[in-house]
Amino acid sequence: MTLALSVGTSIASKNALFGDGGLWVLEMLTQDKFMDFDWPRRFVNYLTQAPMVFGMRLGVREVSKLVYLLSFGQVFVPSFFWFLGLVKLRNHPLLWPFVAVCAVCYLNVSFLTVGEFNTAYGVSAYLVTLLISEERLSKLELLALAFCSTVCVLSYESMSFLAPLLLCLVVLRFRRSSVRTERVVFGVCALNCVLAFAVAVWSITHPRDPSNLARAVKFSLLFGPGQFELSVLCLGTYFIYVTARNRWVSLVSSVISLGLAFVLFAPAFWADPGQHHRMRIVSGAVLFLSSSLFAFLVGKQMKVGELRYYGIPVLLFLSLSLSKYKTAKDFELFLSDLRHQLNSRTGVLNFFETDLEKKFGYYWALPSLSIVLRKDASRAIMSAPLPPGSWRPFDPEKDPPVIPDKFETLEP
């Protein structure tokens, strides 16, 4: 229920317009096709952009509705894969640990809905639940296994470390299986994992923008209000709590984990919107470590906490959901204020000379967002000074792109 509310709030607040989203919408409207910006992430983009593209093909002309469709695709797709993982583990002792991992690895980064990493992590998490299962997979699950592993091939650079883990799990399932159909599917999955790793490594070593890699690995950017750090500590101590054999170790870790879960309800520790982007790589690392632990526990047939251990994951999920909800509602107000500024003025406006909330400003993407939000081409464009040599899709002062006349702009 909480996951569904988070999805609904993100869609209603037009979360797809945050970050690069304004540029994505503008490019899709002007080119009338998928926004295929990075081919190594193509499959994820096709999945998440499909609702908007199909909407355009079916005759939807209101930009506002198309933005809702894009938000739906970018929010629903990764959430759906996490939900499938929860369903798969519904009767498994690892259910509540998986809920905690979902909270940390999804809710900490998913406000930036255009990030392909959201879907890559959701698909990977679901694959892990299928592969660590000791039950024989159904035909539908085998089909899902083949499909999800194919999506991983062109998904995100984090497959450079997630794909080898998935490959190990696939090989283990292949060796245990004696059913020909299963072995064929596992073989296909193994090939997809190898391809996903190769594409991810190639993308890292041949980046479209070399500065992206530097920013992704600059861990000093992570340290801010503390939401991510505290949630990871909460997750780590929770894992100790449910696996420790010593009663005192279990007790102390449970108290620490529970305390951290309560601390995360304090707004002072909530992440700013930009941190949802900066946390993406380390969030993938947490998913890798957690999935490795799950596989180890299942392989060693070690006992983990029963249903009585659900309290901490639930509190963790609720606190991070509340943080994301507040950010989504603030972004909705930001879009409203920005739209008012654009439609009440003309020319090129300096973002830093306005009273708009600065935490939502992706400076290079502001002109694109402005074109999507404004009433018509006679209204203002918002821009922000960028450092010399910085990339931007177009000069807002010189022939900015115009949304085709067949589309109706967002409400004034």
Specify whether the CB–CB gap between 32 and 406 falls below 8 A.
no
Integer Cα distance of 131 and 185 in angstroms: 12
Asked whether residue 406 is assigned to any structural domain, the reply reads no
Residue 99: partners with Cβ closer than 8 Å, 6 or more residues away = 86, 310, 313, 314, 317
pLDDT in tens, the chain (412 residues): 666 777 777 777 888 889 888 899 999 999 888 988 789 999 999 999 999 999 999 989 899 899 999 999 999 999 999 999 999 998 888 899 999 999 999 999 988 888 899 999 999 999 999 999 888 899 999 999 999 999 999 999 999 999 999 999 999 999 988 888 999 999 999 999 999 999 999 999 888 766 655 555 554 445 555 899 999 999 999 999 888 888 899 889 999 999 999 999 999 898 888 777 778 888 999 999 999 999 988 876 666 555 457 889 999 999 999 999 999 999 999 999 999 999 988 888 888 888 888 788 778 888 899 999 988 888 989 888 777 767 788 888 887 888 888 887 755 4
Q: Phi and psi of 120, rounded to 5°?
A: -60, -40
Report the number of distinct structural domains present in the chain: 1
pLDDT at 210: 64
pLDDT at 307: 43
* Alpha-carbon dihedral sign for residues 201, 156, 138, 87: positive
Give the range of the structural domain holding residue 143, as residue numbers without chain letter.
2-327
**3-state helix/strand/coil string of the chain:** CHHHHHHHHHHHCCHHHCCCHHHHHHHHHHHCCCCCCCHHHHHHHHHHHHHHHHHHHCCCCEHHHHHHHHHHHHHHHHHHHHHHHHHHCCCCCCHHHHHHHHHHHHHCCCCCCCCHHHHHHHHHHHHHHHHCCCCCCCHHHHHHHHHHHHHHHCCCCCHHHHHHHHHHHHHHHHHHCCCHHHHHHHHHHHHHHHHHHHHHHHHHHCCCCHHHHHHHCCHHHHCCCCHHHHHHHHHHHHHHHHHCCCHHHHHHHHHHHHHHHHHCCCHHHCCCCCHHHHCHHHHHHHHHHHHHHHHHHHHCCCCCCCHHHCHHHHHHHHHHHHHHHHHHHHHHHHHHHHHHHHHCCCCEEEHHHCCCCHHHCCHHHHHHHHHHHCCCCCCCEEECCCCCCCCCCCCCCCCCCCCCCCCECCCC
Asked whether residue 151 is assigned to any structural domain, the reply reads yes
Asked whether residue 389 is assigned to any structural domain, the reply reads no
Asked whether residue 291 is assigned to any structural domain, the reply reads yes
Q: Phi and psi of 377, rounded to 5°?
A: -70, -15
Asked whether residue 377 is assigned to any structural domain, the reply reads no
- The angle, 0 to 180 degrees and rounded to 10, between the axes of the packed helices 42-57 and 139-153 is 100
First to last CA, the chain: 33
Asked whether residue 394 is assigned to any structural domain, the reply reads no
Interior/surface letters 182-214, b for 16+ CB within 10 angstroms, e for the rest:
beebbebbbebbebbbebbeebbeebeeeeeee
Asked whether residue 399 is assigned to any structural domain, the reply reads no
And the tokens for 26? 């503008």
**Nearest Cα to Cα of residue 372 among 67, 68, 74, 114:** 67
Q: Count other C-beta atoms under 10 Å from residue 243's C-beta.
A: 18
pLDDT at 286: 95
pLDDT at 35: 87
**pTM of the complete model:** 0.92
Integer Cα distance of 361 and 389 in angstroms: 19
Asked whether residue 368 is assigned to any structural domain, the reply reads no
And the tokens for 57? 């093909």
